[in-house]
Structure 1
Amino acid sequence: MTAETEDSAAAREETEHQRLTRNVNELLQELRVAQAGVQFLFGFLLAVAFTEPYARGTTFQHVVHLIAVIFATTAVAMLSAPAAWHRMLFRRGERPKIIEVANRLAIWGMASLAVAMTATVLLLTDAVLGNWGAIVISVCAALLFLVLWFLLPLRHRRRGGAAR
């Protein structure tokens, strides 16, 4: 029996309540992973602003840093919001709404994290390599996030990946 067949068999035996509970739990677990990364990034970006090399940075580097901070802040807010929604609406029969909103927030949070990460790569590579090298590497980083986090899953979804 393949993993997909096992998942299908388990899904047929699952009640609606069990499915919603599983979906909430899976989503919250996924967000824990993303949150840890964005919180480390956010801390790094905040600390950088208080260093001597930052004070010597160019206007371009300061603007890129600010963009990274803004998108990291947005990612923290969006990736932690589902936990707040779950807690605020706990035991009120709102799991379908929590899942719907949390899914959107998670996707936009991951997009914000991708922008923050790409801006951070641009900031660091600009300091080390200069503009053109930084631009090439940052475009590669942006494409990596775009392909792995969005395009490949969307392609699978359009080809008929099962929804549970």
Structure 2
Amino acid sequence: MTAQEPGGPAASGRDETPQERADRVWNETLQEVRVAQTGAQILFGFLLSVAFTPLFAGLPDFDRNLYVATVVLGAVATGALIAPVAFHRFLAGHGMKPELIRVAARLIAVGLVTLALTITGALLLLLRTATGNPAVAWILGGVVLAWFTAAWLVLPLVVLRRTAARRR
């Protein structure tokens, strides 16, 4: 049973063997992770280049520390979103696809959380520099983080609960 399909095959209305279901869910997982993985890699690449710009040398200590934290979060996000592929390479052919799917789902969750934090950190750094107003930067960064929380966590949970309540 996965987060994508509560209740398993009967609830999904599909007539498939456990292996067919695992193959389908794994393919769906790969499609989902490709989008987030690409975004994380591009953002991480841009973040790496910031330290080599002339403006970086003049950043206050807080902004330099924020940058370092953001780069580390970007590395963690990228690693977590790439990890399911590496994990699959090691387990391919061992009949462990259901376990792979469970681990991949957790890795993707970690990747998405750290990606949201990376984007928020990068935005905070950019807004502190661009506006020169730390209060505005913190407020807008908080709004964006709240948006990620609502769109990526709260909304799916609300839909899941409403659907579960209708099925009872």
TM-score normalized by the length of structure 2? 0.87
Q: 1:88 aligns with which of 87, 90, 93?
A: 90
Q: How many residues align?
A: 156
**Counterparts of 1:12 and 1:123, CA distance in 2:** 48
- Deviation for aligned residue 1:34: 0.5
Cα deviation code 1:100-146 (max 9, x no counterpart): 10001101110000000000000000001120110111011100111
- Deviation for aligned residue 1:58: 1.0
Q: 2:55 aligns with which of 50, 53, 58?
A: 53
| Map of 1:108 onto structure 2 | 110
Greater length-normalized contact order (CA 8 Å, ≥ 6 residues apart): 1
| Map of 1:134 onto structure 2 | 137
**Counterparts of 2:75 and 2:11, CA distance in 1:** 41
- Deviation for aligned residue 1:10: 7.3
| Map of 1:147 onto structure 2 | 150
| Map of 1:4 onto structure 2 | none
Q: 1:71 aligns with which of 70, 73, 82?
A: 73
Cα deviation code 1:18-38 (max 9, x no counterpart): 110011011111111101100
| Map of 1:38 onto structure 2 | 40
Structure 1 residues 9 and 67, CA gap change in structure 2 (3 angstroms): closer
Cα deviation code 1:36-72 (max 9, x no counterpart): 1000110111000111001111111111111110111
Deviates more, 1:8-17 or 1:92-101: 8-17
What is the alpha-carbon root mean square deviation over aligned residues? 1.9
| Map of 2:26 onto structure 1 | 24
Tell me, which stretches of 5 or more residues in structure 2 are unaligned? 1-8
**Counterparts of 2:120 and 2:112, CA distance in 1:** 12
Q: Which amino acid aligns with 1:150?
A: L
Identity of aligned residues (%): 38
TM-score normalized by the length of structure 1? 0.89
